[in-house]
Amino acid sequence: MTLATDLAGIRLPTPVLAASGTFGRGTEYAGLTDVEGLGGIISKAVTLRPCAGNPPPRLWETPCGLLNSVGLQNRGVEAFLREDLPELLSWGVPVIVNLAGFSREDYLETARVLRRAEGLSGIELNISCPNVKRGGLQFGAEPRVAAGLVAAVREVIDLPLLVKLSPNVPALGEMAAAVAEAGADGLSLVNTFPAMAVDIRTWRPRLGAVTGGLSGPALRPLAVRAVWEAYKAVDLPILACGGVSSWEDAVEMLLVGARAVAVGTALFREPRTPLMIAQGLKEYLLSKGLANVGQLVGKVLA
Amino acid sequence: MTLATDLAGIRLPTPVLAASGTFGRGTEYAGLTDVEGLGGIISKAVTLRPCAGNPPPRLWETPCGLLNSVGLQNRGVEAFLREDLPELLSWGVPVIVNLAGFSREDYLETARVLRRAEGLSGIELNISCPNVKRGGLQFGAEPRVAAGLVAAVREVIDLPLLVKLSPNVPALGEMAAAVAEAGADGLSLVNTFPAMAVDIRTWRPRLGAVTGGLSGPALRPLAVRAVWEAYKAVDLPILACGGVSSWEDAVEMLLVGARAVAVGTALFREPRTPLMIAQGLKEYLLSKGLANVGQLVGKVLA
Amino acid sequence: MRLRAVVEEVRGCGDAALLRVGAPEIAASAAPGQFVHIICGEDSPRVLRRPYSVFSVEGGTLGILLKVTGAGSRWLACRRPGDPLDILGPLGRGYASAAAGEEVALVAGGTGIAPLHFLAVELRREGVGCRLFWGMESASDFGHLPHRLGDLADTRLATMDGTLGAAGTVLDLLGDSGLDGVARAYACGPSAMLKPLHRLCEEAGIPLQVSVEERMACGVGACQGCAVPVVDDPPGYRMACRDGPVFPSVELDWERIE
Amino acid sequence: MRLRAVVEEVRGCGDAALLRVGAPEIAASAAPGQFVHIICGEDSPRVLRRPYSVFSVEGGTLGILLKVTGAGSRWLACRRPGDPLDILGPLGRGYASAAAGEEVALVAGGTGIAPLHFLAVELRREGVGCRLFWGMESASDFGHLPHRLGDLADTRLATMDGTLGAAGTVLDLLGDSGLDGVARAYACGPSAMLKPLHRLCEEAGIPLQVSVEERMACGVGACQGCAVPVVDDPPGYRMACRDGPVFPSVELDWERIE
Ligand SMILES: Cc1cc2nc3c(=O)[nH]c(=O)nc-3n(C[C@H](O)[C@H](O)[C@H](O)COP(=O)(O)OP(=O)(O)OC[C@H]3O[C@@H](n4cnc5c(N)ncnc54)[C@H](O)[C@@H]3O)c2cc1C
Ligand SMILES: Cc1cc2nc3c(=O)[nH]c(=O)nc-3n(C[C@H](O)[C@H](O)[C@H](O)COP(=O)(O)OP(=O)(O)OC[C@H]3O[C@@H](n4cnc5c(N)ncnc54)[C@H](O)[C@@H]3O)c2cc1C
Ligand SMILES: Cc1cc2nc3c(=O)[nH]c(=O)nc-3n(C[C@H](O)[C@H](O)[C@H](O)COP(=O)(O)O)c2cc1C
Ligand SMILES: Cc1cc2nc3c(=O)[nH]c(=O)nc-3n(C[C@H](O)[C@H](O)[C@H](O)COP(=O)(O)O)c2cc1C
Ligand code: FES
Ligand code: FES
């Protein structure tokens, strides 16, 4: 029995990763969990140039969920390669870079810079960030547009390419198919959902950026359904995330078609969540006499 | 100070209604709350012919949310007019019929039958039910298709016409505009979100229909944002629902542009929720020196 | 119909717990087979109430026998005397009674004992002879409860692991002769138990009433969530909360019940 | 850094509560201005921990002074001795100390007293002279706590309703002469208090360190949620949880802070 698995050509020691934007460089959690025990780390979004991100407040808690409007705060791809990547790589687990942009050229230029990076395991192409006015989500709404971008990035870079989709489209299957056709090696599902909250005392939005993205257990049922739709539509490996907080949640995602899961919001409450999930998966596989998580993928009786 | 308000030409005694599919004929809650104190009742979906609905299980609870796959179970429009409507009308509050169909002709024929009904205050055109294979959502995904249906129904029926939209579209503003253009008197936002859950013990979906719709507080931040998007896009009154459980939630919805709110899932826990909300709104208006809820509509400082 | 009730006692009994709840109005009108609908945690992730059969009524006090199967029942089992409880009830339609002098069979699986316990008390009072068959996983499931049922009815027990009564299921316990001379039968338990019991009773020509468990939201017939397949023409659904939870077993479409 | 701690005591003090939590590892390394991050309710709708300043350290026991402002703090205030608590800490960067013999001012608004209380204890130990200014809404807010601070520092109180000390804000209390002869100042409170205080100190040429409150998710610098505007070039954000919560007030971009 092994937890090791392959995701779109990326060899993962366990199928439980840290989700983009939630794990920093790993260093931050070093005293709180064994970063070396992760299946992989997905970086915060990296853009071509430094980006200050959105004005505070950037967080608001909702029933079983979290709104964030961090935006694409990062110091740009050059600083990322220089300062963050070495630290990310120091943990000895696969590192996937979340690649974002405000225009097609942005994405491509950043991808070209990333080509120089050594040690990177893959790219997660972020076309689904609800927290930026331009770019991001606009590429994730229309299958044709998304496919165009994916194809262009594909030409620039050889690394395994996951495409992170917005769940907020009526025909997710079509989107998945378009992206697969364009050369994606895998899908990443889901990003946060566009959401909003208002302070009824001040009549002002809870978030400085007015709207933000919903994550956490509240949206898990939407994420499960999104993964299932994508799984039925295309023959690509899927990295699932959205409210995954326990090994049971992870098994649920595997059953509807995920090959691996990423944990975001749950880390904030319990930094050891990914390790606890991996342990739970191990015991589950053993108890079922299964050899690997692949034997669970898409096995929902539906 | 008054709670009475006008919604798309419907005179509501209070801006707090019972949401479609959650309140039966009112009779069921008679011993538990004062049905006469509601701002209005929206019927369960009514279709042309009787409809058995989806196989059980039809319910599954999720973190701060509820999945349902009831489907369009109803005894058809003729039986509705004969048996349900008189009872719904007996409470002396506005009754709005939720109109659903599996094809364009279905919708239109049902609308024609409803034209005969006396005492009806309005129609809520349901083009967003995630719980049917054909019809429902398929009309709610494409602005052009939705507009076509709305225009056709508009020709058939004179009653105030609310269109209940799916929140699961990337460009909600466009959808709202198309529907407004086609002659809707108001919008109803949001229906449940397509969702799914799996029993990891049996590997079977929690719902007999495999997927269902998410409701309850979990999705409130998504509903708030949807109402805000629609409010910015069109000059139509909006009936908001999605996780509204307290007067604070109602104020939030008003601030982002709702004229009235409907309460669904919260009824199951506390049947008096709409009355408690109305009472809370009253005290809030008084404390703020406001004359009516209209003075809150869309007043978020964003 | 609704109540701010008060917890009077919580007694652990094996893997289950017996709650005694002061709720005079509900107690006054509850009939065997009816249920109550309880908010299990104000500040919790749970949007729904939890349905529980009435296990007993003594004066103004309701008895509720519960098994911890998830977070809601765990919350309930952790109440302390004096804690408030938000309860709706009594809800649904209970068991139709029997005639005095008749001999009836009560067949329970696990916590299915709850409504049948209440029923046995009532039937006994009405002079009906009760034969109670109760199957459970293990002797430890319900503490001393099984032993105390002897006063109430002619009680026969079965456990899957053989730690109490006969080894096997409650159906094994019924065997070929368990229903001999029985005028009618009442049951509550998992459908894996109810299904074969239905066939057994049908063959023996014994009218059977079953209490079914379906997930519930409103609990009052408004949401159509708790659908139970029935053999109507055309085949459709009834609502467990309003039309049941007790149904004559011949009305249910067992083919479509899992 | 992380702990399963145990609640030792919960003392109501007015509208607030003082929790004493057995957490030796955290207590051993906590410095004034640092905070802990607490899970407030396992079976709750809350996905995030709640940040609380360390109010005191006595042996292996942490003191936490909390005001009930929502469901999370309410949960915390309802703990009982012996209850477990899941705590991360100590987190963040605290106040930089002063030199022995210096006279410093500590300016607190409401629960802003928490880190400043801890700081006053430490500064006193180090032979720094402390003048403590504390403003609150009303005398009843913190029970007897205000009276007990006299031992710790030269304490002056203000309440908005005039029920204790001077009537008015803590800034009114400072007046024109409050900072006279002060070598440095430390503050914690709402930004409506910190902003004018910053201006006051800038004019008087007194270095000021402020502890800011920002909503937090991770609490360790990983999510970039707790952004605080700074006057860097180009103007950007620091993270309250990692770079703060204490900042030299000159580093913050008060124009962009509400
Ligand atoms: C009419 C009726 C009477 C019942 N009487 C009793 C009784 O007397 N004693 C007892 O121990 N249990 C009884 N049950 C089952 C009891 O309602 C569930 O065990 C309880 O809801 C579990 O809640 P949970 O949060 O602990 O579990 P979870 O599994 O976390 O619950 C998740 C969801 O599934 C539903 N659910 C879970 N199990 C069941 C079930 N078996 N039946 C229906 N819905 C379920 C819950 O209500 C909830 O909506 C009865 C059920 C019904 C419908
Ligand atoms: C570094 C730091 C130290 C703090 N120290 C103390 C202290 O010693 N004593 C004390 O009483 N309070 C302190 N607070 C504030 C305390 O964290 C909040 O009062 C608490 O989180 C409220 O939680 P709730 O669930 O009761 O309120 P809710 O309003 O329901 O909380 C909703 C969300 O808003 C956040 N939030 C609410 N109020 C604040 C606030 N004032 N600051 C930051 N986030 C907030 C919560 O963490 C939560 O995510 C501190 C805050 C920070 C950032
Ligand atoms: C604070 C925060 C920051 C995030 N930043 C990014 C990001 O930079 N890029 C991205 O693709 N997703 C980002 N996400 C989305 C997560 O990677 C993940 O898709 C989402 O939160 C759902 O998973 P969860 O419910 O486990 O958090 C962010 C989420 C949070 C909460
Ligand atoms: C059990 C159930 C049945 C529903 N049936 C319908 C329906 O027939 N037609 C419809 O338009 N919406 C239906 N809805 C959606 C609600 O009217 C409402 O839009 C949704 O539940 C969100 O509001 P809530 O969070 O307050 O429940 C149903 C919802 C539930 C929970
Ligand atoms: S639970 Fe709503 S109809 Fe039965
Ligand atoms: S709370 Fe996550 S960076 Fe500060």
D contact test, residue of C39, C40, C42, C43 with most D CBs within 10 A: C43
A250 Cβ closer than 6 Å to some ligand 3 atom: no
In a domain, A189, yes or no: yes
pLDDT of residue C154: 87
Residues C126 and C208 in one domain: yes
Flag whether residue D45 sits within 8 Å of chain B, measured between CB atoms: yes
Of B170, B198, B302, the CB nearest to A169: B170
pLDDT(D39) > 80: yes
Residues C179 and C111 in one domain: yes
pLDDT of residue A169: 76
Question: pLDDT confidence of A167, banded at 50, 70, 90?
Answer: confident
In a domain, A302, yes or no: no
Which residue has tokens 């005639």? Answer: C99
Give the domain extent around D236: 215-258
Higher confidence at residue A168 or residue A138? A168
B247, containing H or E segment: helix B247-255
pLDDT of residue A133: 56
pLDDT of residue D1: 63
Final residue belonging to a domain, choices D74, D91, D108: D91
User: Which of the ligands is closest to the CA of residue D48?
Assistant: 2
Final residue belonging to a domain, choices D91, D108, D139: D91
| Alpha helix segments (H runs only) across D30-150 | 71-77, 113-125, 145-148
Which residue has tokens 């220089």? Answer: A82
Question: pLDDT confidence of A166, banded at 50, 70, 90?
Answer: confident
What are φ and ψ of residue B171, in 5° steps?
Answer: -115, 75
Q: What CATH number is attached to the domain comprising D253?
A: 2.10.240
Q: How much is the average pLDDT of D106-135?
A: 95
Residues C124 and C57 in one domain: no
Please answer yes or no on whether D225 and A216 come within 8 Å at the CB atom: no
pLDDT of residue B276: 98
pLDDT(D227) > 70: yes
In a domain, A251, yes or no: yes
pTM: 0.96
Q: What CATH number is attached to the domain comprising A44?
A: 3.20.20.70
Final residue belonging to a domain, choices D25, D57, D91: D91
Q: How many domains does chain D have?
A: 3
pLDDT of residue B133: 56
pLDDT of residue B170: 74
Tokens of A107: 């994405």
Flag whether residue B301 sits within 8 Å of chain D, measured between CB atoms: no
In a domain, B207, yes or no: no
Q: How many CB atoms lie within 10 A of CB D258?
A: 13
For residues C157 and C110, what is the distance between their CA atoms, to the nearest angstrom? 11
C contact test, residue of D43, D46, D47, D79 with most C CBs within 10 A: D43
Q: How many domains does chain B have?
A: 1
**Ligand 2 atom 34 nearest Cα:** D215
The predicted complex's ipTM stands at: 0.96
Residues D149 and D221 in one domain: no
Q: Write the secondary structure of B168-236 as one string of H (helix), E (strand) and C (coil).
A: CCCCHHHHHHHHHHCCCCEEEECCCEEEECEECCCCEECCCCCEEEEECHHHHHHHHHHHHHHHHHCCC
In a domain, A39, yes or no: yes
Please answer yes or no on whether D1 and A60 come within 8 Å at the CB atom: no
Tell me how far the alpha carbon of residue C241 lies from the centroid of ligand 1, in angstroms.
Answer: 13
For residues B72 and C152, what is the distance between their CA atoms, to the nearest angstrom? 46
pLDDT(D114) > 90: yes
Q: pLDDT, tens digit, for every residue of A227-265?
A: 999 999 999 999 999 999 999 999 999 999 999 999 999
Give the domain extent around B10: 5-54+71-196+216-295
pLDDT(A134) > 60: no
Q: pLDDT, tens digit, for every residue of A100-127?
A: 998 899 999 999 999 989 999 999 999 9
Of C45, C47, C215, the CB nearest to B57: C215
Among the ranges given (A170-179, B36-45, C1-10, D102-111), the one the predictor scored with the smallest mean pLDDT: C1-10
Q: Report the interhelical angle of B104-115 vs B143-156 (nearest 10°).
A: 30
pLDDT(D191) > 70: yes
For the residues of B17-75, what is the DSSP string, one character each? EEPTTSSTTSGGGTTTS-GGGSSEEEPPPB-SS-B--PPSP-EEEETTEEEE---S-B-
A45 Cβ closer than 6 Å to some ligand 3 atom: yes
Residues C140 and C248 in one domain: no
In a domain, A202, yes or no: no
pLDDT of residue D218: 97
Higher confidence at residue C97 or residue B200? B200
Chains that touch B (3 or more CB pairs under 8 A): A, C, D
Flag whether residue B1 sits within 8 Å of chain D, measured between CB atoms: no
**B69 contacts on A by Cβ (under 8 Å):** none
**Ligand 4 atom 17 nearest Cα:** B20
Q: Are B281 and B250 in contact (CB under 8 A)?
A: yes
Q: What CATH number is attached to the domain comprising D52?
A: 2.40.30.10
Which parts of chain B have pLDDT scores under 50?
135
pLDDT of residue A139: 78
Which residue has tokens 């509208």? Answer: D15
**Ligand 3 atom 28 nearest Cα:** A21
Q: What is the dihedral of CA C17, C18, C19, C22, to 10 degrees?
A: 180
In a domain, B86, yes or no: yes
For residues C173 and C162, what is the distance between their CA atoms, to the nearest angstrom? 12
For residues C218 and C240, what is the distance between their CA atoms, to the nearest angstrom? 11
Q: What CATH number is attached to the domain comprising D185?
A: 3.40.50.80
For residues C74 and A100, what is the distance between their CA atoms, to the nearest angstrom? 45
Residues D209 and D103 in one domain: yes
pLDDT of residue A132: 58
pLDDT of residue D221: 97
In a domain, A206, yes or no: no
